[in-house]
Amino acid sequence: MEIGITTFVENTPNPTTGKLLAPHERLTHLMEEAVLADEVGLDVFAIGEHHRPDFIVSSPAVVLAAIAARTRQIRLSSAVSVLSSDDPIRVFQDFAELDLLSKGRAEIMAGRGSFTESFPLFGYDLRDYDELFVEKLDMLLEINNSAVLDWAGTTHTPPVRSRGVYPRPFQHQLPVWIAVGGTPQSVVRAAQKGLPMAVAIIGGLPERFVPLTDLYRNRFEHAGHNLQSLQLAINSHGFIADDAQQAAEEFFGPYAQMMGAIGRERGWSGISRQQYDAMRAAEGSLLVGSPQQVVDKILRYHELFGNTRFLLHISVGTLPHAAVLRSIELLGTVVGPAVRKALNSAS
């Protein structure tokens, strides 16, 4: 199993001190996090795209290119690229450049976008939310398949007649993952196209996602794709410290602050300490605790989903930088090796 990290590069006030980092300071911290992730042997470092003040990366490919220059082996992905409100040609070109700089470590994780600020920013109508993604995904995949693009055009994309799209990536093709949050139509789309799928589990009981991953496998095989090539990632919020109580206390404040703020925007209630502790329990969706507790949860996810990749989203809200670095270190040096040893023993 591949193990890695996702981040939205949050920049919110520290819940204890109230201090807000300057954007360049937060990006300096991000570089240190990525370099450490590479040094401790993690497989993936993925950055989300947002267009709002509390997350400071609007162009993942630019930031990942800076990381590429300072790392050697870790794979570099968006998480996600909001393809619906972007230009598929430019998305491909940006990640092809990243792939060349990193010598074949770039990936695109494409999604419709759970945050929608980019739609009005770039002149798109949210009523076209799903149609935009379908059309632009098809165009992106066509570009990935051939250097010369012949595209008839769709409602939301212009025609392109026999034009080369350059540069081409270092890899034969860019890996394109589809990120889903729980919509069956998105799952079926990924399966029918034979694309890797990433499922975000950030609340509720993980078991409720089993029907979706089963649907993905069934439709993947039914579409004629080899099940041996299937790739499935699970992305979840979490945090690791040297002991469980330390992890629980350090993570709660930033997590509750960020989830409460997003909840107020979307009509949710905030997160109480009781709810938080229930989510940290063995059957819950938060991977917050000691290294062994996180190992146990990752292995439980594997039993449920048979996933080939697990990505931990550590920085939901602003945590002390040293604590984030320690969490990354523990994920790479303790949790990852223990998970792989357990899976190898079982196989």
Q: State the CATH number of the domain containing residue 51.
A: 3.20.20.30
Looking at residue 59, its pLDDT comes to 98
CB 255 within 8 A of CB 276: yes
Distance CA 253, CA 234 (A): 24
Q: What is the DSSP letter of 52?
A: B
Looking at residue 182, its pLDDT comes to 85
CB 94 within 8 A of CB 83: no
How many domains does the chain divide into?
1
CB 189 within 8 A of CB 110: no
- Chain segment 53-91, per-residue pLDDT in tens: 999 999 999 999 999 999 999 999 999 999 999 999 999
CB 136 within 8 A of CB 112: no
Give me 80's structure tokens.
């996600």
List, in order, residues 6 or more apart from 3 with CB less than 8 Å away: 42, 43, 44, 298, 309, 310, 311, 312, 331, 332, 335, 336, 339
Domain that includes residue 203, residue range: 2-346
List, in order, residues 6 or more apart from 231 with CB less than 8 Å away: 177, 196, 197, 308, 309
CB 301 within 8 A of CB 345: no
- 103 to each of 35, 72, 76, 77, 107, how far by Cα in Å? 16, 9, 11, 14, 12
Mean of all residue pLDDT scores within the chain: 96
Q: Which residues pair with 109 in a beta bridge?
A: 177
Q: From first to last of its 347 residues, what are the pLDDT tens digits of the chain? A: 999 999 999 999 887 788 899 999 999 999 999 999 999 999 999 999 999 999 999 999 999 999 999 999 999 999 999 999 999 999 999 999 999 999 999 999 999 988 999 999 999 999 999 999 999 999 999 999 999 999 999 999 999 999 999 999 999 999 999 999 889 999 999 999 999 999 999 988 999 999 999 999 999 999 999 999 999 999 999 999 999 999 999 999 999 999 988 988 888 888 999 999 999 999 999 999 999 999 999 999 999 999 999 999 998 999 999 999 999 999 999 999 999 999 999 87
Q: Write the single-letter amino acid at 164.
A: G
Distance CA 297, CA 299 (A): 5
Looking at residue 196, its pLDDT comes to 98
Q: Nearest 10 degrees: CA dihedral of 60, 61, 62, 63?
A: 50
CB 228 within 8 A of CB 200: no
Neighbours of 39 (CB within 10 A): 16
